[in-house]
Amino acid sequence: MNSAAATGSTMLMGLIQMSVKKNKPANLTRCAQLVQIAAKNGARLVALPECFNCPYGTEYFAEYAETIPGESTEFLSKLAQQFKVWLVGGSMPERDGDKLYNTSTVFSPTGECVAKHRKVHLFDIDIPGSITFKESETLSPGNSFTTFNVDGFKIGLGICYDIRFPEMAQAYAKLGCQVLLYPGAFNMTTGPAHWELLARSRAVDNQVYVASISPARSVDADYIAYGHTLCVDPWGCLVAEADETEQIVYAEIDLNEVKSIRQQIPVSQQKRSDLYQLQFKK
């Protein structure tokens, strides 16, 4: 046993790069199979991709949206309980009154919903000749930060486009997070250019572990996800990365590694608050 495991400072994460189809019951069934495999292989925290129960696309959100609690979150709660894992439910379209959100929920091993994050930054982009996407045509943004605690780790949650906003990651670090999780579905234009770069940037900026969890790539989908689910350590190095196919990425994270890197390069104590400052509004 290594010294980190002996002091209980480590945790194994199972990041599920799941192949998401149009059939919601089939997605739930596949999700259960993959969570079972991850749990069997020792993952304490299991995370699903953005839109784990429906295809990613503005034309699908209203049709697949559910209230929370609802069918899919009750399913996730039971899975977390059955396999005794912390389960980060990627994201799903949520209906609340006449509004829709892109929402992630987190369940404890007893099945309790411990966190709910609504995507704060909506994915509205226009790259001529390549991709135009406007989540704001159908979705409303969330308005809050979301953190939860697992075995001594404080974890901050964002969804996909949220990773492009360094202030949000910095806010999570200021709140005491050592790990940031981003269920996400980058595409074939932005994925190769920015997916790994952004995860490594947020990790180095804040000296945290960053994991980004994508659906598997499906060339038949209207929106083709990049895949490449990954975990980066607080030094900015890749711990593990998938290719584009359905698979589970395992990554061991270590609180001592975070502490040690923060001691060696103490940037959080060297901020020039006389020149600039991150301001919390909520």
Two tokens at 42? 């020792």
- Decide: is 229 part of the binding site for ligand LQR7VSFR (CB under 6 A): no
Active site residue 177: no
Query: Distance between CA atoms of 280 and 213, rounded to whole angstroms?
Result: 27
CA distances for 256 relative to 7, 46, 82, 189, 209, angstroms = 9, 21, 30, 36, 12
Element (H, E) at 232: strand 230-232
List the x/- string, 117-136, binding to ligand LQR7VSFR by CB under 6 A.
------x-------------
Three-state SS at 145: coil
- Decide: is 161 part of the binding site for ligand LQR7VSFR (CB under 6 A): yes
Supply the minimum distance, in Å, between the C-beta of residue 196 and ligand LQR7VSFR. 12
- Decide: is 201 part of the binding site for ligand LQR7VSFR (CB under 6 A): no
Cα–Cα nearest to 246, from 222, 277, 225, 269? 225
Q: Binding ligand LQR7VSFR by CB under 6 A: which of 187, 206, 207, 214? A: 187
Cα torsion through 213, 190, 233, 107, rounded to 10: -20
Q: Which is nearer to ligand LQR7VSFR, 115 or 139 (CB)?
A: 139
Catalytic residue (choose from 24, 54, 119, 135): 119
Residue type (1 letter), 10: T
- Decide: is 138 part of the binding site for ligand LQR7VSFR (CB under 6 A): no
- Binding site residues, ligand LQR7VSFR, CB under 6 A: 123, 160-161, 164, 185-187, 190, 194
Q: Which residues are catalytic?
A: 50, 119, 160
